[in-house]
Structure 1
Amino acid sequence: MGVSIQEAAKISPSPRQLAWQGLEFYAFVHFTVNTFTDMEWGLGDESPSLFAPSELDAEQWVAACQAAGMKGLILTCKHHDGFCLWPSAYTEHSVKSSPWRGGQGDLVREVSDACRKAGLKFGVYLSPWDRHERSYGDSPTYNAFFLNQLRELLTNYGEVFSVWFDGACGEGPNGKRQVYDWDAYYSLIRELQPNAVISVCGPDVRWCGNEAGHTRTSEWSVVPAAMQDNEKIHENSQQVDDGEFAKRVSSEDEDLGSRDVLARAAQAIWYPAETNTSIRPGWFYHAAEDDRVKTTDQLMELYERTVGGNSTFLLNLPPDTRGLLHENDVARLRELGERIRRTYGTDLAAGAAVRGSAEKDEPHGAQRITDGDRSTFWQAPEGVEQAELVIELGDERTFDRVVLAENICEGQRIERFRLEASSSSSGDEDWRPLYEGTVVGYKKICRLAETTARRLRLTIDESRWSPTLSGFGVYRSTAVEG
C-alpha cells in the first residue's frame, strides 16, 4: 500500500495532456435558449423559437479570445436544457427548429470554422443531463441517444482538443434519473478523437474543485488514481440551480498529492488541474450583469494564480441576445491581453549565464534554463534531491516576477524551493530572501515585491528524486524606461 516518491517522480503526462497544458488559457462559451430566457438552467420545455440571435458573429468571439491571449475555445453545444446548437439528427430540439438562419444554421459549424480560421483550438461541451429528452432515465436508451449525439460532434467538425463533461445529474422530464455510461462515452472519444482530452468527468483533466477561481498553494498533477471518479459520483453532482455550487471551495481537499497523501494511495496518476470561472457572476448572459464584468486587475490576478499555479485557466465568455460578446467583456479581454503581453513580453533573464551545484550531464546543464527552449532542460543527477542554481543577470535589473517551469515530460518533482537576490558586483554576495514556494509543475509564477538585483539564486530544498527545470524567466509587470 502506498506510492513511493521514486514511483511518483516517474509519472508523466500523456501526449494529449502535454499538448492541452501548453494551451494554458482558453475560453468557455455558454450560449443557448437560457440566453433569451434570462436563466442559468433551462427547464427543457423552452420553445426553439426563442433562439433568435440577431447579429451572431462567431468570428467576433474568436477575435476577442485572441486579443486576450487565449489559445482555444470550448462551446456549450448542449446544456442541461437539451437544446442543441447543431442540427442533430436525433432530436428536433435544436437550431433546425429555430428561426435563426431560417432553420438552416449550425452554430457548432460556425464556431469551429471561426476557430480554425484564426488558429484557435476548438472543444465541445456536451451535457450528459438532458431535461428535454424523454428517454432520459431509461438508461440504455438514453445512453445510445447520447452516444449518437456525441458521435455527431466528434465526426463533423474537425479536430477537437477537449471534450468537456460536467457531472450534473438530475431528473429528466419523466421524473427519472439516468445512469451515465461513462466508459462507453470515453471509448467513443478515444476512437474518434484520440488527441482530445476528456475533462472534469473524464480521465485526462481534473476539475480544480470549485467555480470561484480558487487555486491551491500546492497544485499537484500527480494525485491518487481514485480522484478520477470524484466528479462522476451522483451524490456529489450539482442537482439544484441555487447559485451556491459556484461559490463552493473545499478546504479539506487542499492537499491532493503530498508525500503523506501518496503514502496512503494504492496508485497514483497524472491528473492535472483546470480552473474554470466566468468573466461575469453568471455563466449565461444577463443584461443586469453588464456592469459586473470582472476588472482587468481581477482577471490578471486569476490568470497569474491559475496559469502560474500549475493549472490551466478556462474563462467563460457569455454572448448576449444579439449573439455577440458584450462591449464591456470585449474591452476587458483586450485590456487583459495587453497586460499579459506587457508583463511577460520581455524576459530579463533570456540568455543569462547560469551556475549550477549539480547537473546530470552536459546536455542537461544549468545553462538550459535560460535558453528560451522549453524542450531543453537542466536536471540533477539521479538520487539528488537538493540543488542550487545562480542566474547572472549582468547589469542591475528591476523586476517583480520570476517564472519557473519544470520539464514535466520527466514528471513533477520539486516540492519546496526559495529565491534570493544579490546586487553585489564583487564575489562577496549578500543574498536577501525574495520568495518561498512549494510545487512548480508546468509553470509557477512567483509574484514579488519590486526588486533590483544583478543575480538570483534558486535553491531547491525538497524534491522527488532528481529535480528538473526547463525555464527560468524574469519579468517586470510595469513598463520600464531605458
Structure 2
Amino acid sequence: MVDLIQYAAQVKPSERQVAVQEMEFYSFIHFTINTYTDKEWGHGDEDPAIFNPVEFDADQWVDSCRDAGMKGLILTCKHHDGFCLWPSQYTEHSVKNSPWKNGQGDIVQEVADACRKGGIKFGVYLSPWDRHEQTYGDSPKYNEYFMNQLRELLTNYGDIFCVWFDGACGEGPNGKRQVYDWDAYYSLIRELQPNAVTNVCGPDIRWCGNEAGVCRESEWSVVPVSLRSNESIQEKSQQVDDGEFAKRYDSTDRDLGSREIIRHERELVWYPAEVNTSIRPGWFYHASEDDKVKSLEELLHVYYGSVGGNATFLLNLPPDQRGLIHENDRARLRELGDYIRNTFRTNLAEGATAQASQTMDGHDVNCIFDGNPDNYWCPEEGTEQVTIEVDLHAEIEFNHVVLQEHRYSQRIEKFELEYEQDGEWKPLWSGTVVGYKRICRFDNVTSRFIRLKITESRWCPTISAFEVYRG
C-alpha cells in the first residue's frame, strides 16, 4: 500500500491541464437553430431561413463573461441538429444559407475575435451526433466528414483552449448509429491545437457526473485510468493480481479517488473534474425561462463547490433570438462577479509568517504567502501528518481561508483549521481534499493565529498558498 500511495502522490498533470485548472471559471454558449424553435434538441430538418440574430453582438457575450469573472468561452459551433455556426464547406446546413448577414456571416469567427479582443480564451463544442448529415451511421464516411469539420475549426479560428465533446450518439436521418473514431479526433486536436484540452469525452478533463451543479465533497484529480475510456463501462470489471475484481468506475460515482478506490488499481491518471450547469433550467434560450435565472446564492453554491473544491466551473449562458445575452442573465452575472471580486480582493495573509512542525530543506514554509505558484512548502518525504501555525501579526476578522497544493500534485486527504481565541485553539473548518484550490468559508471570526493540521495525506503533503479573506 505504501508503494501505491507514493505512486499516487507522484501522478502529475500535463501543462494544458494545469492551464485550464488555473482558468477556474469559464462559460458555455449554447446558440443555434434551437434558439428559434424553442427546443433543446433539434431534429436536423430545420430550415436555415429561421436563423437570423439581427442584433448579434459577440462583444456583448464576452463582456457578460468578463462581468462574472470568467476567463474563457466555449461556443456550440454545431449541436446535434447539425446546423453549423460557420460557413462549413462540407454542408449546406449552416449560416451560409441563413438570412443573417445575407449568408455572408460567421458566428464562430466573430466570437473568436471578440474573445481575443476581450482578453479571454476561446473554445469550441462540436457535436459528433449529427441528425442532419446523411452519412451519419456510415461510420467511415461520417468520420471523414466530422474530421473535415473539426479541421476547419482547429485551423481557421486561431488558438483554441478547449475542444468539448459530449457522448450523445443517437440515430441519424438514415436510422443508423455511428461508431465514432475518438482516437482519430484526439490525434487531430493534438496535431493542430497541441495546447487545447479535450473535455468530457476526452482524455484531459472529465465530467463531474451531473448537470445540476452538484459537487463532490472530495474531488480527486488522480483517479483510475478506466474513467478516461469512452467505452460503455457499466457492469465491467478487470481482474487484478490478488484475484479480486476492481470496479470500472464512471463519472457519476461519488468516490473516484480515495485510498479504498485506488487500492486495486494498476494505473492511475491525472483527470480533473469540470462542473457544468446552466444559468437557466435549459441549455438553449426559452422566453418562458426569463424569470428562472439561477439566484446569486445558487450560483455561489456551485462556485464554492467547484472552483473551491478542486474542479473548474463551466456555466452556460444561452443567447436569445436577438443574438444577445438576456438582460436578466447579465444582471445576475454582474452580481456574481462583484461578489467574487469583493470577497477575494484583499488577502489578509499578506505579510503573515508561519511555522511548520517539519519542513524539507529548500521548501521554507513562508513561501506559502509569496503568491508564486512554483514555490511550495512540504515536509520530509514519508511524513503524512503535519501542522502549520500562521501568525497574521494582528487581530483580524475573517471568514474565508483559501488553500492550494503545489499544482503538479494532489496529496492532502484530510485537514482541519483552527483559530486561537483567549489562549485556546478552537475548531474553524474541516475538510478532505485540497488539490488545486480549497475555499473554506465560515462565519466571521477574529484572531491573530490560524492553525492548519494535515491529518491524512499521501507520501508527504504540499502547500503553495495560504490566503485569508473577509467577504
Work out the CA distance in 2 between the residues paired with 1:251 and 1:157.
31
Deviations 1:26-46 (A, max 9, x none): 000000000000000000000
Partner residue, 2:246: none
Q: Does 1:32 align with 2:32?
A: yes
Deviation at 1:297, TM superposition (A): 1.7
**Superposition pairs of residues 304-453 of structure 1, within 5 angstroms:** 304-361=304-361, 363-409=362-408, 411-424=409-422, 429-453=423-447
Partner residue, 1:476: 470
Distance change in 2, residues 1:161/1:310 (3 Å) = same
Work out the CA distance in 1 between the residues paired with 2:427 and 2:296.
30
Query: Aligned to 1:227, what secondary structure does the other structure show?
Result: helix
Work out the CA distance in 2 between the residues paired with 1:431 and 1:101.
67
Query: Aligned to 1:211, what secondary structure does the other structure show?
Result: coil
Partner residue, 1:263: 263
Deviations 1:374-403 (A, max 9, x none): 221111111111111011112111111111
Contact 2:227 2:251 in 1 (8 A): no
Partner residue, 2:296: 296
Work out the CA distance in 2 between the residues paired with 1:46 and 1:319.
19
Work out the CA distance in 1 between the residues paired with 2:3 and 2:13.
17
Deviation at 1:235, TM superposition (A): 8.0
Deviations 1:409-468 (A, max 9, x none): 1x10000100000034xxxx3100111111000000111122111110000011001110
TM value normalised by structure 1: 0.93
Deviation at 1:301, TM superposition (A): 1.7
Partner residue, 2:14: 14
Q: Does 1:95 align with 2:89?
A: no
Distance change in 2, residues 1:150/1:2 (3 Å) = farther
Equivalent of residue 450 in structure 2, options 432, 452, 456: 456
Deviations 1:189-211 (A, max 9, x none): 00000000000000000100010
Work out the CA distance in 1 between the residues paired with 2:344 and 2:195.
29
Contact 1:319 1:325 in 2 (8 A): yes
Task: Name the stretch that deviates more: 372-381 or 352-361.
Answer: 372-381
Deviation at 1:351, TM superposition (A): 2.2
Could you tell me which runs of 5 or more consecutive residues in structure 1 were left unpaired when the two chains were aligned: 237-249, 478-482
Partner residue, 2:174: 174
Work out the CA distance in 1 between the residues paired with 2:228 and 2:261.
15
How many aligned positions are there? 457
Contact 1:2 1:264 in 2 (8 A): no
The sequence identity of aligned pairs, in percent, is 64
TM value normalised by structure 2: 0.95
Partner residue, 1:23: 23
Deviation at 1:233, TM superposition (A): 2.9
Alignment RMSD: 1.5
Contact 1:351 1:372 in 2 (8 A): no
Work out the CA distance in 2 between the residues paired with 1:13 and 1:470.
16
**Superposition pairs of residues 125-136 of structure 1, within 5 angstroms:** 125-136=125-136
Contact 2:351 2:392 in 1 (8 A): no
Could you tell me which runs of 5 or more consecutive residues in structure 2 were left unpaired when the two chains were aligned: 236-249
Deviations 1:59-85 (A, max 9, x none): 000001001000000000000000000
Deviation at 1:188, TM superposition (A): 0.3
